[in-house]
Structure 1
Amino acid sequence: MVYYVSDDDHPENYSLHGQLSRSLLALRCLKHLDLSQNYLLGDAKAMPGFLGSVQSLTYLNLSITDFHGLVPPQLGNLSILVQLDIQGNIYGDYQYSKDISWLTRLRSLEHLNMCWVDLTGVADWVHTVGALPNLAVLISFCCGLTVPSSFVHHNLTVLEELDLSGNQFSSPGYTQLVRGVTSLKSLRLAGCRLSGTFANKLGNLTLLENFDFGFNNVDGMIPGALKTMCNLKSLDLTGNNISTDIKEVIDSIPSCSWKNLQQLILDGANITGTTLQFVSNLTSVNILQVSHNKLSGSVPMEIGVLANITYLDLRHNNLSDSVPAEIGTLTKLTHLDLGNNTSSGVITEDHLIGLMILKYIDFSDNNLEVIIDSHFVPPFKLQSACLSSCRLGPKFHKWLQWQKGIRELMISDTGLVDRPDWFWTTFAEVTWLDISLNQLSGDLPINLEFMSVVTLLMQSNLLAGLIPKLPSTIKLFDISRNFLNGFVEDLGAQNLQVAVLFSNVISLTIPTSICRL
């Protein structure tokens, strides 16, 4: 039986700590060893070479373990290894290797992940990995790799997944390397400073299902090679200066792939156009991201045909007119972001009633008015709601009171004129709370200290009385431009980093507890 314990946000809370022991060598039948996301550095802090003596291993995962220094060449003794994952830690010290010829002894290897391992000094990596006859997955983003100026022969005839993102390539040999791997189903080349002419030479990759070409130097064009990719399920051209109409972008995707396409990501690609009606052709899409572009017009009613969509991001465009109620029929949607547009009109319960598993909603910085029936009980439990600059007031909406587990709530400048005594208990679990630029009145509650808030923005309201004891979690506290007249003696807030208190009517003595922060 295998037990796996992790915490993606704070892995140190659940990770193993200590040092790897040579007693592992006594486990002569050990086949599967996963020590990922643990802190087993010991005094040496380097990956221990004795792991190469556990020769029964077929699976070894040491990813994100924060090992430093040289990757031990003794790993080449694991002759029956099928999967090797030694991904480094982007936030920690780095691992490196100047010679990876030891990999050629791993003849059974099918999966190799060396992300964030510094391979800057390795000139013959293409020849090395090309000598692995069974290699199906190669993941080596941000390794400092270069490619020889001339073509290097390789035998990567069964390679299906190749991720070389974050390596800076410019030589012609790189084009030949990728074009020669016709078995590819997944190709990720994000942030490699490649031109659009490179992408045009990939037309023979007809089996490709996932293509990530984001953050490259595609200027004023769409890679023509897309026309041959009938099996596409995911396309990412984020951060390229495509500079063309959205209709041309969609027309460049072969119609034979429309029913297969599940992810279309075009953020920040300088795309223009006045219609999003193309969505009616993409009935299998579950992720649609076209944020930070120059799209205009309205969100079409055809958006309702996207029955499989889970993630919809159209923020930071010039979309106008009303938001169609058909959005409320997208029952699988978890993330809805229409923020920073010029949409107008009214959001009603019809826009929300079918969003059964919604977790994130952003209508902020539009010209929208939110009018929800007071008897409406939302079917979802939000983690984040961004409604700033929408018209919510004058009273708090009752549907918000159902969101007791929400972690982020941003409702600044929403026309609220209220005294919500229930507010602080209902949203006790919130970590980011922005209720600034409203006309909220009354005293701050004495139970404020029991909230989980980290960032609390309440500036420019009508709040009065004393500043009570603050939560131990709080780091940023802005209550400027109110009518507060003093503090309690013990302010708490031992983790407070920023306190903005100007433009109040504080006349009482500032407590010594502030000086200890």
Structure 2
Amino acid sequence: MLGARFPRSSASHPARAKLEQGNGSPFSSNSSNSNPSCIEIERKALVEFKKGLTDPSGRLSSWVGNDCCTWMGVGCSNQTGNVVSLDLRNRFQCFDNSSCLGGEVSNQIMGDISELVGGLVECSNSSLEELWLGDNQVSGQLPDYSLAHLQNLRYLILPINLISGPIPPSIGSSLKLEILKLSYNQMNGSIPDSVGKLANLNSLILEYNYWEGVLSQNHLQGLTKLQSFTISSLNKSLIFNISHEWVPPFSLTYITIHSCQLGPRFPAWLSNQKQLSDITLTDVAISNTIPYWLCELSPHIFWLDLSANRIHEMLPNSLVFPSAFLVDFSFNRLEGSLPFLA
């Protein structure tokens, strides 16, 4: 028997949708108030940034006038007028490119994100806290120099774009970072060790890129607040090298690892993750039997996808899923019946 897959519903994964879209920015934008208007050097930086973008649907048509704090997607501090949030997520799918923003993210032409961030960094004491550019067609590489100065950055959310290149080592300077979301891009290279310095990080979302090299416990040891972790390598060139004796300092609720070299054994470091309810370990070369800790977790699991591995022998009777939305053991080497369906 190859395995089994039984979703409780044909709907898509609700938790994944939330991870990809993110929560709304707490900073108000496109609002009128009597607080200080935006700083002129920052307004000019935004104007130059706009020049480097294509905007076929006119999403940035409000970017005129002297007060950039009233522009769509721009959030300012009520106390200082500094731009603290830039939220240009595409709320629609980019099927025909009509609602997508395009442009370079590297130091190439005026209006790129390096120029924007550089202006904010040099002229406003690194005030930027949130940068949202998800689901557009933004390209180029993340700028190393500017990131090193974004020491107030809390959300860096750039999924579903065309960003390439590695994660700059300077990411470790953004010690206030809570969410790093770079999924569904064309990024490559190894994960820098400096990621492990982000002690306030609670979401590290890196799947659907072309990562390579080795990921070890050194990358994760300092992430004491981590709750959600996703990663994959479309060229299957990322190798996990984590000690079986390692005890993580965090408590995950959500983990997705796929198309990486994680096996042949189940990762022992997940055995103390008692809050896990969403587990995806697909196409990661696991070739042993179901571990005891997964049986202990199974009554509380909402989503379990272990497909496309080489898990073998019979499933234990203690494996039960009373609350599961989906359980997927397909494309493995299982034997016998499925006890949780009996």
- Under a length normalisation based on structure 1, what TM-score does the superposition of the two structures give? 0.49
Residue 275 of structure 1 and its aligned partner are, at CA, apart by 3.4
Determine the C-alpha separation between the residues in 1 that align with 2:296 and 2:218: 25
Q: Report the Cα distance in structure 2 between the residues aligned to 1:195 and 1:416, rounded to whole angstroms.
A: 46
Shift of 1:458: 0.4
Aligned residue for 2:156, secondary structure, equals: strand
Aligned partner letter, 1:425 = C
Partner deviation per Cα, 1:456-507 (whole Å, 9 max, x = no partner): 000011111122243xxxxxxxxxxxxxxxxxxxx3xxxxxxxxxxxxxxxx
Change (3 A) 1:161 1:447: closer
Which of 210, 213, 217 lines up with 2:73 in the alignment? 213
Q: Which residue of 2 aligns with 1:324?
A: 192
Contact 1:320–1:343 at 8 Å: present in 2 too? yes
Q: Which structure has the highest strand share of the two?
A: 2
Match in the other structure for 1:435: 306
Q: Quick one: higher RCO (CA 8 Å, sep 6+), 1 or 2?
A: 2
Partner letter of residue 231 of structure 1?
N
Write the letter of the residue equivalent to 2:288: D
Contact preservation (8 Å) 1:412, 1:438? yes
Contact 1:296–1:317 (8 Å) recurs in 2: yes
Residues in 2 aligned to 1:211 and 1:373: alpha-carbon distance in whole angstroms: 50
Contact 1:353 1:379 in 2 (8 A): yes
Q: Secondary structure at the match of 2:224?
A: coil
- Match for residue 251 of structure 1? 115
Distance 1:430 1:446 in 2: 16
Question: How far did 1:451 drift?
Answer: 5.0
SS of equivalent to 1:427: helix
Tell me the CA shift for residue 251 of structure 1.
Answer: 1.5
Structure 2 match to 1:233: 84
Matching of residues 46-125 of structure 1 within 5 Å: none
The equivalent of 1:384 in structure 2 is 254
The one-letter code sitting in structure 2 at the alignment partner of 1:436 is: S
Which consecutive unaligned segments of at least 5 residues does structure 1 have?
1-159, 165-177, 187-192, 215-228, 471-490, 492-517
The runs of 4+ residues in structure 1 deviating greater than 6 Å are none
CA distance in 2 between partners of 1:420 and 1:246 (Å): 44
Contact 1:317–1:341 (CA<8 Å) still a contact in 2? yes
Q: Is 1:369 matched with 2:239?
A: yes
Matched, 1:305 2:159: no
Counterpart for residue 208 of structure 2: 340
> Matched residues in 1 for 2:28 and 2:258: separation?
42
Which residue of the other structure, out of 279, 291, 298, is the alignment partner of 2:147? 279
In the TM superposition, residue 232 of structure 1 has moved relative to its aligned partner by: 1.0
Change in CA separation of 1:162 and 1:301 when aligned onto 2, cut-off 3 Å? closer
User: 1:184/1:230 Cα in 2 relative to 1: closer, same or farther (>3 Å)?
Assistant: closer
Superposed, 1:373-452 pairs within 5 Å as 373-428=243-298, 429-449=300-320, 451-452=322-323
Count of residue correspondences: 274
Provide the rounded CA distance (Å) in 1 between the counterparts of 2:137 and 2:273.
36
User: CA-to-partner distance for each residue in 1:297-324, whole Å, 9 max, x for gaps?
Assistant: 1111111101000000011111111110
The AA in structure 2 aligned to 1:416 is I
* Paired AA for residue 332 in structure 2: N
Which residue identity is paired with 2:193?
A
- Name the residue aligned to 2:8: none
CA contact (8 A) 2:317 2:339 kept: yes
Seq. identity, %: 26
**Which of these two proteins has the greater Rg computed from alpha carbons?**
1
Judge conservation of contact 1:405–1:430 (CA < 8 Å) in 2: no
Deviations 1:377-434 (A, max 9, x none): 1001101111011111111121011112201110011001101241442322221000
Closer/same/farther in 2, CA of residues 282 and 440 from structure 1, 3 Å limit: same
Give yes or no for the alignment of 1:315 onto 2:175.
no
Take 2:71 and 2:178, find their aligned partners in 1: how far apart are those partners?
20
CA–CA distance in structure 2, aligned partners of residues 442 and 289 of structure 1: 42
Unpaired segments ≥5 residues, structure 2: 1-26, 39-56, 75-79, 91-98, 107-111
Question: CA, structure 1 residues 185+451, in 2 after alignment: closer, same or farther (shift >3 Å)?
Answer: farther
Give the distance between the partners of 2:320 and 2:167, measured in 1 at CA: 43
Cα 1:259–1:251 change in 2 (3 A) is: same
Q: Shift of the alpha carbon at 1:237?
A: 1.1
Deviation, 1:362, is 0.7
Cα separation, 2, equivalents of 1:397 and 1:381: 15
- CA drift of 1:198 comes to 2.6
Query: Is the alpha carbon distance of 1:232 and 1:462 closer, same or farther for their aligned partners in structure 2, counting shifts above 3 Å?
Result: same
Q: 2:67 aligns with which of 198, 204, 207?
A: 204
Partners of 2:322 and 2:176 lie apart in 1 by: 37
**In 2, Cα distance between the equivalents of 1:336 and 1:430?**
21
Name the CA distance, whole Å, in 1 between partners of 2:131 and 2:207.
19
Partner residue, 2:127: 260
User: In structure 2, do the counterparts of structure 1 residues 433 and 450 end up closer, same or farther at CA, with 3 Å as the change threshold?
Assistant: closer
Closer, same or farther in 2 for the Cα pair 1:161/1:263, shift >3 Å?
closer
User: What residue is the counterpart of 2:43 in the other structure?
Assistant: none
TM-score (structure 2 length as normaliser): 0.73
Q: CA deviation at 1:365?
A: 3.6
Paired residues of 1:161 and 1:185 also in contact (CA < 8 A): no
Structure-2 residue corresponding to 1:460 = 331
With over 3 angstroms needed to count, the CA separation of the structure-2 counterparts of 1:423 and 1:273, relative to structure 1, is same
User: Within 2, Cα distance between the matches of 1:402 and 1:455?
Assistant: 22
Q: Following the alignment from structure 1 to structure 2, what is the Cα–Cα distance between the partners of residues 389 and 287?
A: 26
Q: How many Å separate the matches in 1 of 2:331 and 2:143?
A: 39
Q: Secondary structure at the match of 2:115?
A: helix
| Offset at residue 246 of structure 1 (A) | 1.2
Give the C-alpha shift of residue 211 in structure 1.
Answer: 6.1
